[in-house]
Structure 1
Amino acid sequence: MTSQDIGEQSRTIRSVEIALNVIDVLQRRTDVGVTELADELGHSKSTVHSHLRTLEERKMIVRDGNSYRLSLRILDMATYVRDQVGNYEVIEDEVESLAEETGEIAQFGIEEFGRVSYLCKATGDRAVETASRVGTQQPIHSTSLGKSVLAFLPEEERDAIVDGIDFVRVTPNTITSRTELVEELAAIRERGYALDDEENIEGLRCVAAPVRDGNKVLGAISISGPSSRFTESVLHGELADYVQRAANVIELNTKFS
């Protein structure tokens, strides 16, 4: 590869990065114009304007006066991505049923880029709302969904993810070492479900069970709620039973659909 090729490749990658950063900002903020985007991204207004024009031509964003927003094409792309997950309707039905039965928050997550990504979420009638949203990600080692998936991945894949974890303490209960996490994952494999004991959010506990198809881990399903209701006996008793039954339903429909 020549120096010219390397330079051109670097410019192309940088251009894509700027465009994606523009989309990230528009996802977080409303009524954002060229000046605000340029200030936040640290690029000239002319550079940002060029990317905005390109994104607008590709119908990824919409101009509204002097401001920009994401277009509905993003929603179409998100729907397409969601539907690539096998048996999404079965997953959605089980998540909604779990939320209705327990009155709490029920969620389904999958592993992406060494983190847990939320695919589906439903809220029961007595749920305490959390910051998690469909499409967002959380650390894999401090959530019951993440640990549930991680525990049952093939050893080589699991080790690679664990090697890349930045063990940042979020709460006093967050796992902060590889040794502690490896021990926890072994316990999860033995009992068949994972816990988040106020490890990601103080006052919030979760229990999750993996959804598997043979040796493949499709994801995990969880229930989340306040620690005042999610006592030790309830977590390890009826709530663990709930998520394991829901996981079994998804597995059966996956295997025999």
Structure 2
Amino acid sequence: MQQDSEENATEVKSVTKTLAIIETLQGLDGGRVTEVANELTWPKSTVYNHMETLEQCGYLVKEGDIYNLSLRFMDLGEYVKNRDEVYSLVEPRIEALAERTGERVQFVGEEHGKCVFIRIAMGDNAVSTGSRLGRRRKMLHATASGKSLLAFMPESESEAIIESIDLPKLTPNTITERDELHEHLEEIRDHGCAFNYEEHIKGLRAVAAPVKRQDGTVVGSISVSGPAHRMSGDYFTDELPSTILGVCNEIELDIVYQ
């Protein structure tokens, strides 16, 4: 939860500490005061006071001396999941696409420079990629969905995100140079689709295209991913992109007329 000095001018440190504790408990899958304090290198008294307050307010549950996130977060998550009506319009479309392709289909948005998994549908042959609803990843440069979002969002926003990340090398195919990424994004704009040639996970390929509102604003990106041996040839470069673009077009019509 590090921020630069300009952003820190408005930071409320008690809120920052509380959120850090919540995220740490999630990462630990629950924990004791000592475990959280050790993870954050904070005094145990500070962690105890924050965790007791969260428990009293209903955001943590305590079993013995172990604290965990409460079901209160499920209610908040369900609200966020359905906050934008577009998300509900996407769901049946990507479920049908997953059934048609047999692969993993994801609807991904961008928030604070990170990919956020908003909807996931699994076909009969879908493989796991470690993603889950709500998970956030700072890897827009290495995924089909991420590159699709970067390519079609306003250039100033895209540039700010690219400048804020290190472009880490995740596989031998990951783009790690900004100039190369800019050229690649231009190709995506021309083509309409983004491709992931094992750039995030070795052996996994994906195709993605953006979903836009009537004013051209990108609301998210739909991707289909699968093993490289299935994602190959004309199916990968022509047939699948055409199918995804068609689904995106259908959703965009739903946005306008429903």
- TM over 0.5: same fold? yes
Match of 1:222 in 2: 223
* 1:28-85 residue CA offsets vs partner (Å, 9 max, x unmatched): 2234111111111111221111001111122111111111111111011111111122
> Structure 1 residue 136 and structure 2 residue 155: aligned?
no
Matched, 1:124 2:123: yes
Indicate whether 1:180 and 2:186 are aligned.
no
* Cα gap change, 1:177 to 1:90, in 2 (>3 Å): same
Distance 2:69 2:30 in 1: 11
- Kindly, what percent of the aligned residue pairs are identical? 43
Evaluate the alpha carbon distance shift between residue 11 and residue 117 of structure 1 in structure 2; reply closer, same or farther with a 3 A threshold. Answer: closer
Name the Cα RMSD after superposition: 1.7
> 1:91 — aligned with what?
90
Once residues 30 and 173 of structure 1 are traced to their aligned partners in structure 2, the CA distance between those partners, rounded to angstroms, is 33
One-letter code aligned to 1:228: H
CA distance in 1, matches of 2:80, 2:172: 36
Residue of structure 2 equivalent to 1:249 = 250
Number of aligned residue pairs: 249
Q: Residue 201 of structure 2 corresponds to which residue in structure 1? A: 201
Query: Given residue 21 of structure 1, which amino acid in structure 2 is its aligned partner?
Result: A
How big is each residue's C-alpha offset from its partner over 1:170-218, in whole Å with a ceiling of 9 and x where there is no partner?
A: 1100011111111111111111100111010000000001101232111
From the superposition, tell whether residues 137 and 11 of structure 1 become closer, same or farther in structure 2 (CA, over 3 Å): closer
Task: Give the equivalent residue in structure 2 for 1:162.
Answer: 162
Q: CA deviation at 1:13?
A: 2.5
TM (norm. structure 1) is 0.92
Deviation of 1:11 after TM superposition, in Å, equals 11
String of CA shifts for 1:109-162, please: whole Å, max 9, x gaps. Answer: 111111211101111111111111111123111111111111111222222222
Alignment partners' CA distance in 2, 1:12 and 1:178: 31
Which sections of structure 1, spanning at least 5 residues, go unmatched? 1-8
Q: Which amino acid aligns with 1:153?
A: M
Q: Counterpart in 2 of 1:171?
A: 171
Q: Which moved more, 1:83-92 or 1:65-74?
A: 83-92
Where structure 2 has 5 or more consecutive residues not aligned to the other structure, the ranges are 1-7
In structure 1, what is the Cα distance between the partners aligned to 2:55 and 2:253? Answer: 44
AA in 2 matched with 1:240: P
Q: TM-score, normalising length from structure 2?
A: 0.92
Partners of 2:123 and 2:193 lie apart in 1 by: 21
Structure 1 moving runs of 4+ over 6 Å: 9-12
